[in-house]
Chains A and B, each alone.
Chain A
């Protein structure tokens, strides 16, 4: 073996070790969380003495938690629907039919992604207070829409920039009117990107904490339920909730990846 190859092999080995350590660092806490969620004991101590689903039973028996899950799903669903409509229209018009001031519109849409969630939360709290709007899941949803719109817009814009306008011209040339052109060419081509972007929104809304914290009313979303429980004591059922949230996010990521890889460029 020549020295260069040996050096490369060794370098490769170091890289493997580095990546391995990084992954452990990133995911060990999650693994611990998941393992403890299946522990039969109330003590958070290794090694676990037995496996059980008691914390999951407890979670689903607790109406605060189930209400939180329902609230989070509702907020995520409404946020996803609204952002998909607004975001698609905004991304289409800015990327495909640019007008004077389009870059300003683009900047305004993207701004919340650069602002700390804390600032958005406080601003919204003041805003709703001044308008005498009662805080509720509706105000939370408004906050989530503002917060997730930039991400939707970014993902879809990236796809639209790759969209070849000549495909639309070809459709027109072959006899398609504006409506047929959108239905038969534009929509099928950008649909995977829209769905992928919508899943990103669902994932962001599902575990959003900061903005929710400032805009929440009587009903709590799941992240706030966990926070309030964990603040008092480390209750093993929090591990079960956490595991459920990881599972939910993972599903969304898998779906999203699937749609992105199927998307045509």
Chain B
């Protein structure tokens, strides 16, 4: 497993996937992969739809069985254990509350199956409903709940079952933005208070970055990168990760010279000279350069000719989105995404001739 910070590695492993794969009749949903989730960790599986993240979650839950590999939960091999006997619970993407039961009966479903005493089961239901801030909702029919309330009840139902690991499969994706934001904050708070291990599947990079301790970026059944949100954002290891994290300028380039700890890159339309990355790159090699939109500095074009790390271009599009202004700037026929703090800075309208500069040490170069 990749290094993930000292704190996480000292804790016992809650979930360990060892060369787990999943093949369906015509395609491979998950290529053999390893993943360890530590106790009390909040891990997000992030990727586009069809990348295998939900399949992976269902394999941990026991609702799908892996084609190869083993699944361990707190050190016990669970690969062949049926879903109903695993100490994990899943909050589904769609509402899966039982329509013939009340809210309290739904939440008490697990405790009653485990033959807890009447009083004990009732206590669990009350505690779980209080946790999701719906203490008065016990007697309601589940058909009377709003989408947000239904997912809170689903969360309470999973938690009332005392799972050792809580699995969440895009539980907020069907909700309005405002309710989604609110529930994101509450989920994070619940995670902190219970100290429970969370494995959270999402296709929303902002959700993954803002909630998780560690993000697992998946694509096409493989893990692209594992790391803290900051690591992943600052050091994407593949063009896919860079693109998936949003709005990055990912361009192909050729190394024209590699000397004095610097690389000169050609083919991007920008005169890129960047500090040489750790991997050895020689002149003539094809590489991928990633420049995040916020690496750029945008100013009105001056009369004097641009300096070495500057270029002039034309604003092709402006979008004002509150705290940020997003520009598309055309430089030598290629469009670059540039974001600038709105603040009190001048906002350049379409067609303005502007000057772009960038911090060379923030340009990411990876093998093409």
Binding site for B on A (CB under 8 A): 164, 166-167, 169-177, 180-181, 184-185, 188-189, 264
Provide the residues of chain B in CB contact with A164, threshold 8 Å. Answer: 94, 96
Contact of A174 among B94, B100, B109 (CB under 8 A): B109
Contact of A175 among B63, B99, B113, B143 (CB under 8 A): B113
A172 to B110, CA, bound (A): 10
A188 to B83, CA, bound (A): 22
Contact segment of B2-10, B84-92, B254-262 = B84-92
A205 to B90, CA, bound (A): 47
Provide the residues of chain A in CB contact with B96, threshold 8 Å. Answer: 164, 166-167, 169-170
A175 touches B98 (CB 8 A): no
A174 touches B157 (CB 8 A): yes
A173 to B90, CA, bound (A): 7
Provide the residues of chain A in CB contact with B84, threshold 8 Å. Answer: 172-177, 181
Contact of A264 among B61, B90, B100, B114 (CB under 8 A): B100
Q: How distant is A163 from chain B, measured CB to nearest CB, in Å?
A: 10
Those 6 A-B pairs whose CB atoms lie nearest each other, nearest first: A170-B96, A174-B110, A264-B99, A175-B113, A172-B83, A188-B100
Provide the residues of chain A in CB contact with B143, threshold 8 Å. Answer: 264
Chain B residues 232 to 265 lying within 8 A of chain A, measured CB to CB, are: none
Q: What are 22 A-B residue pairs whose CB atoms fall within 8 Å in the complex?
A: A164-B94, A164-B96, A167-B96, A170-B92, A170-B98, A172-B83, A173-B83, A173-B84, A174-B109, A174-B110, A174-B157, A174-B161, A175-B84, A175-B110, A175-B113, A175-B114, A176-B113, A180-B113, A184-B113, A189-B98, A189-B100, A264-B100
Q: How distant is A180 from chain B, measured CB to nearest CB, in Å?
A: 6
B98 touches A169 (CB 8 A): no
A109 to B82, CA, bound (A): 35
Provide the residues of chain A in CB contact with B100, threshold 8 Å. Answer: 188-189, 264
Interface size class of B (residues with CB under 8 A): 20 to 34
Provide the residues of chain B in CB contact with A188, threshold 8 Å. Answer: 100
A172 touches B63 (CB 8 A): yes
Provide the residues of chain A in CB contact with B85, threshold 8 Å. Answer: 175
Provide the residues of chain B in CB contact with A264, threshold 8 Å. Answer: 99-100, 143
Provide the residues of chain A in CB contact with B113, threshold 8 Å. Answer: 174-176, 180, 184
A264 to B99, CA, bound (A): 7
A173 to B160, CA, bound (A): 13
Chain B residues 111 to 145 lying within 8 A of chain A, measured CB to CB, are: 113-114, 143
A188 to B100, CA, bound (A): 7
A174 touches B89 (CB 8 A): yes
A173 to B88, CA, bound (A): 8
Known: A164-B96, A166-B96, A167-B96. A173 touches B109 (CB 8 A): no
Provide the residues of chain A in CB contact with B114, threshold 8 Å. Answer: 175
A263 to B362, CA, bound (A): 61
* Extra inter-chain contacts (13) besides given A170-B96, A172-B82, A176-B113, CB under 8 Å: A166-B92, A166-B96, A171-B109, A172-B83, A172-B84, A173-B83, A174-B158, A175-B161, A180-B113, A184-B113, A189-B99, A189-B100, A264-B100
Provide the residues of chain A in CB contact with B158, threshold 8 Å. Answer: 173-174
Q: How distant is A151 from chain B, measured CB to nearest CB, in Å?
A: 25
Provide the residues of chain B in CB contact with A167, threshold 8 Å. Answer: 96, 98
A177 to B368, CA, bound (A): 51
Q: How distant is A30 from chain B, measured CB to nearest CB, in Å?
A: 38
Provide the residues of chain B in CB contact with A170, threshold 8 Å. Answer: 90, 92, 96, 98
Provide the residues of chain B in CB contact with A176, threshold 8 Å. Answer: 84, 109, 113
Known: A170-B92, A175-B114. A185 touches B98 (CB 8 A): yes
Provide the residues of chain A in CB contact with B89, threshold 8 Å. Answer: 173-174
Q: How distant is A18 from chain B, measured CB to nearest CB, in Å?
A: 37
Q: How distant is A258 from chain B, measured CB to nearest CB, in Å?
A: 16
A185 to B61, CA, bound (A): 19
Q: Which residue of A lies closest to B157 (CB)?
A: A174
Q: How distant is B113 from chain A, measured CB to nearest CB, in Å?
A: 5
Contact of A173 among B63, B94, B98 (CB under 8 A): B63
